[in-house]
A = this chain, B = another copy of it.
Amino acid sequence: MPEPLITGGTDAWRTLPAEKREAVTHAAVDEFAVHGYDRASMNTLVKAAGISKGSLFHYFRTKGDLFEGIVDAAFGHVKAQVKGVRDDTAGLPLDVRLERLLEAGFRFVSDHPRLATIYFRVLRSGDAPFGRRRLEEMGQLSRRFLAELIADAQTRGEADPALDPERTAWLLDAMLERLLAAWHAGDLSPEQREADRRAWVASFRRLVAHGTRPAGQEVSHG
């Protein structure tokens, strides 16, 4: 039996045939992605999943439990991506590492669009049944990583030692998150999206590297 995407259900959920579990998972992710936690309706959900309301509440005790399971899944994906980038880019220059992180973000958003919708909404608007603690914790994942990157780069002389790593990481995170959320929400054709993505990566990279000041006597790599 494959492990379910949504963790945290009851015993009944874990022993449910995979086919039914996927129908429920699909319907639930859809419902929450479209309407957000508050406006999502369990009645609509069960109709879409093709099961009865009683069954759904047999698999998940409350609406909040079900949602938490989905958010955990989304969060797990993000965590894995961030860790992957951290390990794969150890020792590389700061700007390369940031670019890789941004592109991992684009990949997450492309591969799991509905989970991304849920993830961003929870993070930005707190539309969720759990408290600030939990949200804080989720948001710190990428900020911590960014602070590490900056501190690393400072010890190697690649970054201005006068930068406050925490605050700078926070600012970079704000840009990355909103960039990904907006790119995700935008409705562009695939070719447009690809061009758009490249343009954003370039703008982000330039701003983060040099700021707004003219390049001046900067050494060019080619």
- Point out residues on A near B: beta carbons under 8 Å: 38-39, 94-95, 121, 124-125, 127, 150, 153, 157-164, 167-168, 170-171, 174-175, 177-179, 182, 199-200, 202-204, 206-215, 217
User: Considering the chains assembled together, what is the distance between the CA atoms of A212 and B146 in angstroms?
Assistant: 12
- If A159-B213, A212-B163, A213-B159 touch, whether A207 touches B38 (CB-CB below 8 Å) is no
Decide if A175 touches B167 in the complex (CB within 8 Å): no
Decide if B160 touches A212 in the complex (CB within 8 Å): yes
Which residues on the B side are within 8 Å of A171 (C-beta)?
Answer: 175, 179, 203-204, 207
User: Considering the chains assembled together, what is the distance between the CA atoms of A38 and B19 in angstroms?
Assistant: 35
Decide if A211 touches B207 in the complex (CB within 8 Å): yes
Decide if A164 touches B199 in the complex (CB within 8 Å): yes
Decide if A159 touches B214 in the complex (CB within 8 Å): yes
Q: Can you list the 10 inter-chain pairs with the closest CB atoms, starting with the nearest?
A: A125-B125, A211-B211, A167-B203, A174-B178, A210-B211, A159-B212, A209-B211, A160-B214, A171-B175, A174-B175
